[in-house]
A and B are shown apart, each in its own frame.
Chain A
Amino acid sequence: MAKTITIAPVTRIEGHAKVTINLDDAGNVADTYVNVVELRGFEKFCVGRPVEELPRIVTSICGVCPWSHHLASAKANDAIFGVEPPPTGRKLRELCNAVAFTEEHILHFFFLAGPDYVMGPDADYSIRNVLGILQADRELGRRVVRARHLGSRMLGILSGKSIHPVTAVPGGFSKPLAERDRDRLASMAQEVLDFAKFAIGYAKEEIFPNYAEEIRDLGTIETGFLGTVAEDGSLDLYDGRLRLMKPDGTAEDFAYDQYDDVIVEHVEPWSYLKFPYIRAWGEFSMDIDRPVGIYRTNTLARLNVADRISTPLAQAELEAYRKAFGRPVQQTLRYNHARLIELLYNAELAVQLLEDPAITGRDTRVPVTPRAARGVGCVEAPRGTLIHDYQTDDEGMVTDVNLIVGTTHNNAPINMSVNQAAKRLISAGVYDETILNKIEMAIRAYDPCLSCATHNLDGTIALTVKIVARDGGTIANLSNVGPLRERNEEEARPR
């Protein structure tokens, strides 16, 4: 009998999603869909407001990466007003971006994706979470927590508040950095760098070798890649040109305010979230054997498109990574490895910026005057390329807003990776919770932020699997903890 398997919500990703796996009459995977929730009406909400308010408002879109939205919005404002921040203002923004990245990447690797690796994908759900890590290795847990606290405290010193920042303003940065604070930050940044060095060494020695097969195969698909590079082709997370790489590794660069000439959006009737694809590559297709127009963003993509990394330790890691896995790397679970190289880069960058005498300059912003204009701001967010595109009237009031967030770029690839993983792992109707968790691992590798509107507490959310017959009747409910599991133990048994 044909069945539908539903995984909802996907655990330990930001926001929530529902995965539906349709089996055919033989019990093999026919189709898969990843449905996500999105914040609706944000563009309409912004219209009619002063554009300089948006850097403050957009931080409420998402409690997970508020700095990325804040900085992309500030850059869009710079473009609207036709100004460039002074060097100190720009460096302070870059410093905040680098520190926020370290905090986010530590969170993802150790709290969200890490439990799958540290505890193992087949470990009991009750310990396959951050508490499991803490109990298994208290010293590791203590180091992770301290490193995250350091990042949070640094952002607090730099901007006054780390949750909903307000310090990036049109034309620069509102608050100069005092010498005394710079000294405090420098020692904290050095400690974060020490942790980053430890983290990548730990992962390379203790984690990745144990999962070589999963990393090579799970969710692996062939796509193009998009990311930001500096003028010299090196990795840049704050500013630069967008580089688009084809699956064969050839690449071309374009200015980020031309994104809508290159990227178009496909719509599927089963998802609110759109599917961006590359116009010049042909008619959109998510066929995993013959995809058309599909590209990926986020860490894997950024390391693929960058020619080099400007900081020495991260560059050495990139060289070793390329030697082992080539360029471009298509293994989806390598997102996690790439994430740790980026952690190292950001930690090094923070140290470098704090050693720069210009970081304590007093000239942090330039004045701005309202005008009618279009302004595009683009940064690399932890979850992918983030684009804010605004238009204003001659009084500087917003007339149009368009946002493309990192996870939206990866919508099609996430669906394809789930499809690939499900087809590889499920056959003749046989599946169990470990297999379903492995499918989720493919999603988690992308570190998706599926709903900027929610504040649910992942890591302890149950996994629910519904098996539905073609006539719509529920055949069984599977879950990973608590009463549902007991109630459906018989049905949960692998068949």
Chain B
Amino acid sequence: MIAERDAEILPDHCAAEVVVLCCGNVLLGDDGFGPAVAAALHASSRIPERAAVVDAGTAVRELLFDILVCDRRPRQLVLVDAVDVGRDPGEVFELELDRFPKVNVATLSLHQAPTTHLLREIRDETGVEVTAIVCQIAQRTEEVEDRLSPAVLRAVAAAADLIRRRFLDDESAKE
């Protein structure tokens, strides 16, 4: 059992039973998908006490490191992100972490390959159940742009609904 002195400072992304980490840069167009999903979840429903929905923004690396190295970790980690893997723009799907070779990041998008790598580390090394819910971007953003493309914007509500049903509703707690 975690010591009381540790519990006081434990970040939500380590302490909660279910953690939804929504990551991305809101200044890079469709990369802002994750933060938009976090906002939608907070706006549309009460987050149960056992769960935490975190707008990780561009700091997800540090939060995942925390989870990886902390003594107390969530049972279920859900990462919400934008990817570019050649699907239809706005398509929301679960990313298969094992689909990616462990090293070949030079030929993958740096946007998502390292994330999948660390998620896999968390899953394999700590036993945390890891799910990555991602959205195919419509286009890569070359310059700063704080708007989602129409296709990705439409996907935000669908992704939030999916996450709510699968991980946040009371029924999901019984699984």
Q: Which A residues are within 8 Å of any B CB, using their own CB?
A: 8-9, 16, 39-42, 44-45, 57, 59-64, 66, 107, 111, 130-131, 134, 141-142, 144-146, 148-150, 152-153, 163-164, 188, 452-462, 464, 466, 479-485
**B55 close to A (CB within 8 Å):** yes
CA distance A163 to B117 in the complex (A): 22
Q: Which of B45-53, B61-69, B90-98, B155-163 contacts A (4 or more CB under 8 A)?
A: B61-69
B27, A455: Cβ atoms closer than 8 Å = no
A131, B105: Cβ atoms closer than 8 Å = no
Given the contacts A145-B70, A460-B117, A9 and B61 also touching, CB distance less than 8 Å: no
A134, B144: Cβ atoms closer than 8 Å = no
Given the contacts A63-B61, A142-B71, A461 and B11 also touching, CB distance less than 8 Å: no
8 contacts between A and B (CB under 8 A): A9-B105, A41-B144, A64-B58, A152-B11, A453-B28, A455-B57, A455-B115, A484-B103
CA distance A482 to B107 in the complex (A): 14
The residue in chain A whose Cβ has the minimal distance to the Cβ of B32 is: A60
Chain B residues with CB below 8 A from A45, complex form? 27, 143-146
Other than the given A145-B71, A152-B9, A455-B25, 12 more pairs (CB < 8 A) read A41-B142, A63-B59, A63-B61, A66-B59, A148-B66, A153-B11, A456-B111, A459-B65, A462-B106, A479-B103, A482-B101, A485-B103
> How many A-B contacts at CB < 8 Å in the complex?
152
B103, A482: Cβ atoms closer than 8 Å = yes
Considering only residues 99-128 of chain B, those with a C-beta below 8 Å from chain A are 101-106, 110-111, 113-115, 117-118, 121, 125
**B20 close to A (CB within 8 Å):** no
Across the A-B interface, the 8 shortest Cβ-Cβ residue pairs: A63-B58, A41-B143, A482-B103, A63-B59, A45-B144, A462-B103, A482-B102, A457-B114
A42, B27: Cβ atoms closer than 8 Å = yes
A131, B68: Cβ atoms closer than 8 Å = yes
B105, A107: Cβ atoms closer than 8 Å = no
Given the contacts A40-B144, A131-B121, A456 and B104 also touching, CB distance less than 8 Å: no
B103, A146: Cβ atoms closer than 8 Å = no
Given the contacts A42-B144, A45-B146, A461 and B114 also touching, CB distance less than 8 Å: yes
Chain B residues with CB below 8 A from A107, complex form? 62
Q: Which B residues are within 8 Å of any A CB, using their own CB?
A: 6, 8-11, 14, 23-28, 55-62, 64-66, 68-71, 101-106, 110-111, 113-115, 117-118, 121, 125, 142-146
Chain A residues with CB below 8 A from B11, complex form? 149, 152-153
Chain A residues with CB below 8 A from B144, complex form? 39-42, 44-45
The residue in chain A whose Cβ has the minimal distance to the Cβ of B14 is: A149
Please tell me which one of the listed residues B56, B68, B104 contacts residue A484 in the complex, with CB atoms under 8 A apart. Answer: B104
CA distance A483 to B104 in the complex (A): 8
Please tell me which one of the listed residues A111, A152, A464 contacts residue B105 in the complex, with CB atoms under 8 A apart. Answer: A464
Chain B residues with CB below 8 A from A66, complex form? 59
The residue in chain B whose Cβ has the minimal distance to the Cβ of A150 is: B9
CA distance A24 to B70 in the complex (A): 48
Chain B residues with CB below 8 A from A152, complex form? 9, 11
Please tell me which one of the listed residues B9, B58, B111 contacts residue A146 in the complex, with CB atoms under 8 A apart. Answer: B9
Chain B residues with CB below 8 A from A63, complex form? 25, 56-62
Chain B residues with CB below 8 A from A485, complex form? 103
Please tell me which one of the listed residues B25, B27, B118 contacts residue A460 in the complex, with CB atoms under 8 A apart. Answer: B118
CA distance A64 to B25 in the complex (A): 12
Chain A residues with CB below 8 A from B114, complex form? 456-458, 460-461
A182 CB, min distance to chain B CBs, angstroms: 16
Given the contacts A152-B11, A483-B102, A145 and B28 also touching, CB distance less than 8 Å: no
CA distance A131 to B120 in the complex (A): 13
A164, B27: Cβ atoms closer than 8 Å = no
B69, A130: Cβ atoms closer than 8 Å = yes
B25, A60: Cβ atoms closer than 8 Å = yes
CA distance A60 to B115 in the complex (A): 18
B115 CB, min distance to chain A CBs, angstroms: 6
Chain A residues with CB below 8 A from B111, complex form? 454, 456
The residue in chain A whose Cβ has the minimal distance to the Cβ of B68 is: A131
B47 CB, min distance to chain A CBs, angstroms: 16
Chain A residues with CB below 8 A from B58, complex form? 60, 62-64, 452-455
The residue in chain A whose Cβ has the minimal distance to the Cβ of B26 is: A60
A352 CB, min distance to chain B CBs, angstroms: 21
Chain A residues with CB below 8 A from B62, complex form? 63-64, 107
CA distance A240 to B65 in the complex (A): 35
B117, A457: Cβ atoms closer than 8 Å = yes
Chain B residues with CB below 8 A from A484, complex form? 103-104
B88 CB, min distance to chain A CBs, angstroms: 24
Please tell me which one of the listed residues A61, A130, A145, A153 contacts residue B27 in the complex, with CB atoms under 8 A apart. Answer: A61
CA distance A16 to B144 in the complex (A): 18
CA distance A41 to B142 in the complex (A): 8
